[in-house]
Amino acid sequence: MRITAVAAGAFACLAAAPALAQTYPTKPVRIIIPFAPGGPTDVQGRWAAQQLSAALGQTFIADNRPGAGGVPGSEVVVKAAPDGYTLLAGNPGPLTIAPTVKAQMPYDTLRDLAPIVLIAKSASCICVHPSLPVKGVKDFVAIAKARPGRINYGTPGIGTVGHLATESFATAAGVKLNHVPYKGASQFTVDLLAGNIELAQIQLAGSAPLAKQGKVRCLGVTSTARTALLPDTPTIAEQGLKGFESYNWNGLLAPAAMPKAIVTRIHDVVSKALKTTEARELFGSQGHEISGIGPDEYGAFINAETEKWARVAQKAGIPKQ
């Protein structure tokens, strides 16, 4: 039986993959961060870049590509050569939520991207500007019902966790809010502090110090249990919205055809770094729950998240745009 040139090439690539992984990387690697600097995806993407640079002896460069809820930045990675030199700092917005709220997507997450490692999951606080005379969910709901569509909330963009989680909150509470999309978490946080918007979901690392300083008021945390960073702040579920929870998460992905040997090498470095005392203390101090799960489990997690947010979008009546 004759072996075609294509098949021969494929066999050659498979044979070369282990050797390639042993020498990888031989030049700088870009980690595309599809959001503005300062947000959680940026912070964790840069942390991963530092760990990989130190372990593999090459520079891993954080490359911010913000805008449109992270979809264009993620598309850069989908279209990149699958050689290990372009990676994605992924989060649920462009990977599991955008497919449920956008009529057309330039990629299919699990078809076009290879999950490498889930770094961490992160709960948030639903925060309001102190000028809003509310102390908790019950007070907020009363005011929101009196001002239907007039309370503005900020998010990193359409199809992000902040967008769907806040819409899920509004649906559960029976109120109508006005969505104001931004390019990243740092931008809408600035506007919340200035009183230009009234509400935003901010991850614990950012919201806890702001709440303690009186710059924002936390209506409640989005986790299933209270957090050590804000032990006196009840969960949203505790305050009458049974079953409500929302987590952001961040991890590394690559173009789908990247050799598995390189995927494994990157996963092993990041997973090992997450097990150190330094990582546990760092992530714990920021309210993050570290993970480290690998390609198969991460892929299953992404699939489950996609199905969950599709249900949320349908229940909230969010049309595809």
**β-sheet bridge partners, residue 86:** 30
Strands (E) across the chain are located at 29-33, 60-64, 86-90, 113-122, 124-128, 152-155, 178-181, 199-203, 217-221, 248-255, 288-290
**What integer pLDDT is reported at residue 3 of this predicted model?**
42
Cβ contact 73:39 at 8 Å: no
Which pLDDT score is estimated for 1? 42
Confirm if 164 and 316 have CB atoms less than 8 A apart.
Answer: yes
How long, in residues, is the chain? 321
CATH tag, 28-121+248-316? 3.40.190.150
Strands across the sheet containing 288-290: 60-64, 29-33, 86-90, 248-255, 113-122, 288-290
Please indicate whether the domains covering 28-121+248-316 and 124-239 agree at the CATH topology level.
yes
| pLDDT tens-digit readout, 257-270 | 999 999 999 999 99
Q: Which of 23, 47, 19, 41 is nearest to 279 (CA)?
A: 47
pLDDT digit of tens for each residue in the chain (321 aa)?
A: 444 544 554 454 444 556 666 899 999 999 999 988 987 899 999 999 999 999 999 999 999 999 888 999 999 999 999 999 999 999 998 999 989 888 899 999 999 999 999 999 999 999 999 999 999 999 999 999 999 999 999 998 877 788 899 999 999 999 999 999 988 888 999 999 999 999 999 989 889 999 999 999 999 999 988 998 999 999 999 999 998 988 899 999 999 999 999 999 999 999 999 999 999 999 988 889 899 999 999 999 999 999 989 988 888 888 887
Instruction: List the chain domain ranges.
Output: 28-121+248-316, 124-239
CATH tag for 124-239 (out of 3.40.50.620, 3.40.50.300, 3.40.190.10, 3.90.1150.10): 3.40.190.10
Within 10 angstroms of residue 156's Cβ, the number of other Cβ atoms is 33
Q: Which residues contact 51 (CB under 8 A, 6 or more apart)?
A: 269, 270, 273
pTM of the model: 0.81
Q: d(Cα 78, Cα 84) in Å, to the nearest integer? A: 12
